[in-house]
Each structure stands twice: as C-alpha cells, then as structure tokens.
C-alpha cells in the first residue's frame, strides 16, 4: 500500500466582512460587524499653533471660523483688542479661567458652547502651569499629605499626575470636536537640544510644554492634532547648515529638522499671512 505525499488541503475559513465605503456623513456600524462607523465630515479640526511672542498667534486665532471662544490664560486680549477690526471683534468671545478646576468645569459643560465654532486655549503653556498648581493643591502624596513642589511626589510621579489632567482635557476636547467645534491650542516656543546619531547635536524649536518621560504633554498634543503650525520669520538653511532669514511672517505646515510642524490636509507648505485677511489662513488649512 502506498502513501500519498500530498499535503491535506487547508481548512476553509469564512470570508472577512468587507469594510464600509467612505461616506461624507457618519453611519452606524453594520449589525454584528467589527467595523466602526465612518468619521463625520462635520467633525471639528484639531490645531496646535506655536512660536515666539509677538508674531501674531493670538490674532490669527481670533480670525478662526467663528464665533470663537478664547480661554485667555495669558490675559493678552485686552492689549490685542485694539488691533482687531470690527469684524474680528464681533467674531470673538473671551473668558479668563480662574484656575485649572474652573477651566475643566467650563470645558465639560458643553451647554455653554451653543453656537461656538472654535475653542482657543491661549496659551497651553500657561494652562499647563495652572494644571501643575491644581495637582499640587488637590492630589495628595503617597502618605496622604500636601506637597509644595511637583518633585515632592517622588521620581517623576508628579509629572504623571499633570499629564493625566491633560489626557482628561483632550478627551473633553474630542467631545467638542464630535459636535463640530474646532479646538486650537496656542503655545510659546523653546529651543531644545536634539540628539543627532549621524553627527553633532542641534537645536530644534518645539512647543513649550512638558516633556517628562512619565508624561510628555508636548508629544501627546502633537500626536492628537491634525495641524501643528509653527509661526516664525521666514528662514532658510544653506548647504553649510547656517540659517538665514527674511522679514516676512510665515506659517510652516510641514516639519523640518529644526522645528516641529505637520498637517493632515492639502495646505501649502508655507503660508504668508495677511494681517488684514487672517481668515484666509484658515480657509487654506481647512479647504
């Protein structure tokens, strides 16, 4: 009796369900389907704008699709107000948070945002300091006591507590986005030494936000947003690695080794804003 060397046929498997085709509006998942509903075309946009002071970040945000509500952490709108034209002023509502707890409470109450199309947190850098102060006041240490410094919780534990507050904020912001509102974070900029495995280390411009290994707020927001916009005076790097600049304010939408930026759209790589028509910047971003 001879034995066949042929391998037995593999068992048949039921075909995978096909994913739904994309649609302009969200639809509920199919019954007994693992596929999620398509994202809604009405979802808001998520934006981070950062740069040095005096470049017009706050003024740009006042021209976002409105009405715009600005959480004025820096209390800068009183000075900026006289620079806005009547149309821009009519586009803006403002609120100065009375600490992190007050801010989170307002953000959670979505009934307060009826008619608001864009929420601006100006600046996230100052809001982060407020979140740290809230943690020190409200989160006890491992012995149930108060702390006077974020370092008093133990090795990087305090930074994790602050990071957790920002994870909560982004979850709230996502609920606003699902209701069609844009979320815009404004941040100051700082120079950070960046390791270069192929040569000398170099400086890179980044948003001025916490970068602890136990709670990297900067990276968490950068990953979360659809657009990270870096504002600066126009610059170029020559073959020798030296940076030269001009005198035009520029919004960068794509990153370079010396700064962070990104977009999930079709906007130009560089936008030169006209202070009299800043709404054109948002039209180019969200087109």
Domains and CATH numbers, the chain: 46-286 (3.40.50.300)
CA distance 204 to 259: 5
Angstrom distance (rounded) from CA 82 to CA 180: 30
Per-residue pLDDT of the chain (287 residues; tens, 9 = 90+): 444 444 445 455 555 555 555 455 556 666 677 776 666 668 999 999 999 988 999 999 999 999 999 999 999 888 888 888 888 889 999 999 999 999 999 999 989 999 999 999 999 999 999 999 999 999 998 888 889 888 888 878 999 999 999 999 999 999 999 999 999 999 999 998 877 777 777 788 999 999 987 789 999 999 999 999 999 988 666 666 566 666 789 999 999 888 999 999 999 999 999 988 999 999 999 98
What pairs with residue 48 in β-bridges?
185, 228
C-alpha–C-alpha distance, residues 35 and 31, integer Å: 10
Tell the burial category of 50 from Cβ atoms under 10 Å away from its Cβ (0-12, 13-18, 19+): buried
Question: Tokens at residue 177, please?
Answer: 């986005």
Query: What's the pLDDT score for residue 278?
Result: 93
Question: What is the reported pLDDT for 141?
Answer: 87
* Dihedral angle sign, alpha carbons of residues 104, 109, 114, 117: positive
Q: Are 119 and 71 in contact (CB under 8 A)?
A: yes
* pTM recorded for the entire structure: 0.82
């Amino acid at each position: 009796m001879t034995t066949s060397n042929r391998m037995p046929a593999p068992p048949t498997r039921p075909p995978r369900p096909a994913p739904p085709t994309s649609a302009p509006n969200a639809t509920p998942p199919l019954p007994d389907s693992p596929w999620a509903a398509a994202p809604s075309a009405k979802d808001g946009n998520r934006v981070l704008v950062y740069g040095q002071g005096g470049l017009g970040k706050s003024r740009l945000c006042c021209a976002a699709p409105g009405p715009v509500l600005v959480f004025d952490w820096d209390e800068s709108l009183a000075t900026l107000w006289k620079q806005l034209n009547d149309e821009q002023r009519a586009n803006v509502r403002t609120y100065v948070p009375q600490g992190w707890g007050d801010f989170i409470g307002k953000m959670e109450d979505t009934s307060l945002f009826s008619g608001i199309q864009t929420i601006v947190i100006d600046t996230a850098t100052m809001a982060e300091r407020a979140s740290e102060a809230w943690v020190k006041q409200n989160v006890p240490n491992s012995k149930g006591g108060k702390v006077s410094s974020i370092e008093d919780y133990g090795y990087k534990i305090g930074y994790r507590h602050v990071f957790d507050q920002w994870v909560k904020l982004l979850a709230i912001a996502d609920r606003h986005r699902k209701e069609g509102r844009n979320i815009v974070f404004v941040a100051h900029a700082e120079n950070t030494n960046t390791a270069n495995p192929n040569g000398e280390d170099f400086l890179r411009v980044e948003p001025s936000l916490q970068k602890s290994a136990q709670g990297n707020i900067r990276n968490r927001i950068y990953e979360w947003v659809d657009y990270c916009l870096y504002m600066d005076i126009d610059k170029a790097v020559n073959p020798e690695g030296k940076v030269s600049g001009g005198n035009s304010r520029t919004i960068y939408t794509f990153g370079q080794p010396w700064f962070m930026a990104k977009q999930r759209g079709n906007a130009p790589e560089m936008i030169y804003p006209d202070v009299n028509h800043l709404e054109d910047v948002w039209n180019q971003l969200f087109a």
